[in-house]
């Protein structure tokens, strides 16, 4: 009996060999996972001295690059068989046109781009290829060409590859060459599962980029990502965190809300940030507050939200511009977004087209004139920004008890617009430089007395409804 042997078929031998390989791969995966868990949860212990740095080896073979970029698993398995091959630096050389000052012309210059096999596989969602590379010894946190594989997988985004890398011990806070963590690259709505994975594996939600100190909440706010913003705030993100330039996430959201199609997303982001305690008056770059940015982008609903939470409608930025100045500058560009609503909101909160302190420092608002300009001169300059849009011009003119002479600004109105609104512009010319009606003067006096309380006090006045409406500067299409 001891002399007997069993004849294994080729298929049986192949099955046994595959089973042995799978067991070895699973043992390696578990060892890597245990090492990562130990590094994360146990107190730091003295580390043994690092081995001498291994000199990187490069692969410039287009056939190898093609196998990686197409996700050819069979070829990848035949090429990458050990730790040395899986950690080769993939280097691509392309020709780029660059300007040569010495020759005075554009010349072709070689441009080298480096990456790793694992970066390519993870960044393109080739999970089976990435798994093979990891099991063959690919360094999961190797920063090659400026990024680690986890950066590429979440930026793509490919949640399955991100989950695989994290299971093999990838550091969720690994920094790129530019100082960005993977969470900073979750900049698209589809990246929400990746952001959830990173936070579940220990990503620091308030970690800032190395140079600018931008957090993941800044990125989500700037991109108008409502679900990301809610997720980060739930995990303890700080809505008051400032970048190196002083920007808060609320500043970033209001500055990025430019297109009408995106208005709802940015409004909801701002709502979440304000509910979490964001300061509506936090001045960021160039002393721009969120209200300055909302008005400059022609966003009346966002401006209303900020004013409701206590934003100051009269505060100037470093150049002396108030939110009203920003709103008037934006009238022509955002005339289809009802800029008159923003102007009416600001007027109801005590704002005026010309800042009352203008000229006290020896300069004009935003460089609109010489030293110590008159308020009338600046008023005319501001009227030039809104004279092409009658509703905005009417509101601005009705905020004052006297209209300045028309020759200083009415020339900016194109003839075709004059023909479209002849009655309105004729009434402006007729009243320019003339005293207004007593009724209008009384309205100006009441609004001046109420100041910043106009929006809340006027609806509560014990007056007939037509008078209350008149005090709120309704649009009539004429100046009387």
Of the three residues 174, 190, 212, the one that is the final residue of a domain is 174
25 in any annotated domain? no
* Residue 384 covered by a domain: yes
Run of H or E residues at 122: helix 117-123
The series of mean pLDDT values per 10 residues for the chain, 480 residues long, is 51 63 69 63 51 74 94 95 94 76 74 91 96 95 96 97 96 96 97 98 96 97 97 97 95 94 95 96 92 94 96 91 91 89 93 55 35 55 82 89 76 85 89 87 91 90 92 90
- CA 152 vs CA 125, 158, 223, 225: distances in Å: 10, 9, 19, 20
Instruction: Check if the beta carbon of residue 236 is closer than 8 Å to that of residue 262.
Output: no
| Angstrom distance (rounded) from CA 36 to CA 141 | 12
d(CA 433, CA 13): 102
φ, ψ at 120 (rounded to 5°): -65, -45
Q: In what order do the strands lie in the sheet with 105-116?
A: 58-59, 89-100, 105-116
DSSP E strand stretches across 117-158? none
Q: How far is CA 364 from CA 185, 315, 346, 397, 430, in A?
A: 42, 16, 21, 21, 29
Among 153, 174, 195, the domain boundary falls at: 174
In sequence order, the β-bridge partners of residue 112 are 93
Pick the closest to residue 396 from 325, 470, 297 (CA basis). Answer: 325
Q: What local confidence, expressed as pLDDT, does residue 365 receive? A: 34
Ranges assigned E (strand) in 101-242: 105-116
DSSP string spanning 274-332?
A: HHTT--TT---GGG--HHHHHHHTT-HHHHHHHHHTT--SS---TTS--HHHHHHHTTT
**CATH label of the domain that carries residue 83:** 1.25.40.20
- Identify the helix (H) or strand (E) that includes residue 66: helix 62-70
Cα of 129 vs its chain's centroid, Å:
33
**Both structure tokens of 407:** 């020759």
Residue 96 lies in a domain: yes
pTM of the model: 0.82
Helices vs strands, H then E, count in the chain: 24, 3
Q: How many domains does the chain have?
A: 2
307 inside domain: no
Confidence at residue 155, expressed as pLDDT on a 0 to 100 scale = 96
Q: Which domain holds residue 151?
A: 56-174
Last-in-domain residue among 174, 195, 223: 174
Any idea which residue has 């203008």 for tokens? Answer: 358
Q: Helix, strand or coil for residue 208?
A: coil
Does the residue 221 lie in any domain? no
The answer to whether residue 26 sits within a structural domain is: no
* Buried b or exposed e, range 281-290, using 16+ CB within 10 angstroms: ebbbeeebbb
For residue 438, being part of any structural domain is answered with yes
**Cβ partners under 8 Å of residue 230, min gap 6:** 272
């Amino acid at each position: 009996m001891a002399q007997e042997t069993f004849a294994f078929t080729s298929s049986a031998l192949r099955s046994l060999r595959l089973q042995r390989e799978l067991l070895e791969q699973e043992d390696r995966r578990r060892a890597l996972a245990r090492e990562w868990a130990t590094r994360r949860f146990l107190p730091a212990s003295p580390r043994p001295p690092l081995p001498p740095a291994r000199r990187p080896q490069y692969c410039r073979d287009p056939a190898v690059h093609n196998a990686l970029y197409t996700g050819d698993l069979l070829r990848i398995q035949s090429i990458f068989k050990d730790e040395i091959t899986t950690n080769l630096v993939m280097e691509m050389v392309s020709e780029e046109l660059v300007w040569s000052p010495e020759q005075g012309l554009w010349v072709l210059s070689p441009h080298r781009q480096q990456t790793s096999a694992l970066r390519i596989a993870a960044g393109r969602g080739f999970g089976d290829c990435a798994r093979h590379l990891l099991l063959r010894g690919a360094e999961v946190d190797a920063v090659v060409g400026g990024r680690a594989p986890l950066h590429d997988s979440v930026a793509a985004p490919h949640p399955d590859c991100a989950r695989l890398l994290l299971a093999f011990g990838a550091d969720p806070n690994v920094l790129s060459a530019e100082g960005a963590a993977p969470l900073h690259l979750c900049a698209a709505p589809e990246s929400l599962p990746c952001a959830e994975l990173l936070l579940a594996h220990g990503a620091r939600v308030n970690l800032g980029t190395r140079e600018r100190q931008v957090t993941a909440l800044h990125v989500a706010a700037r991109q108008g990502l409502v679900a990301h913003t809610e997720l980060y705030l739930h995990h303890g993100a700080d809505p008051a965190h400032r970048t190196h330039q002083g920007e808060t996430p609320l500043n970033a959201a209001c500055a990025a809300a430019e297109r009408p199609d995106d208005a709802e997303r940015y409004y909801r982001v701002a709502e979440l940030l304000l509910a979490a305690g964001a300061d509506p008056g936090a001045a960021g770059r160039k002393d721009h507050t969120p209200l300055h940015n909302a008005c400059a982008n022609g966003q009346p609903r966002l401006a209303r939200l900020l004013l409701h939470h206590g934003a100051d409608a009269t505060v100037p930025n470093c150049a002396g511009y108030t939110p009203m100045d920003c709103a008037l500058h934006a009238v022509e560009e955002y005339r289809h977004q009802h800029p008159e609503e923003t102007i009416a909101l600001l007027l109801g909160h005590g704002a005026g087209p010309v800042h009352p302190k203008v000229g006290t420092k020896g300069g004009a608002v935003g460089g609109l004139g010489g030293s110590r300009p008159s308020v009338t001169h600046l008023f005319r300059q501001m009227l030039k920004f809104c004279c092409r849009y009658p509703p905005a011009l009417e509101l601005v003119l009705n905020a004052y008890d006297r209209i300045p002479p028309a020759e200083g600004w009415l020339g900016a109105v194109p003839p075709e617009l004059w023909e479209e609104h002849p009655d309105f512009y004729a009434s402006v010319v007729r009243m320019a430089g003339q005293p207004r009606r007593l009724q209008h003067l009384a309205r100006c006096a009441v609004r001046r007395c109420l100041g910043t309380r106009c929006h809340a006090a006027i609806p509560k006045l014990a007056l007939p409804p037509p008078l209350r409406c008149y005090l709120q500067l309704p649009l009539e299409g004429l100046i009387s």
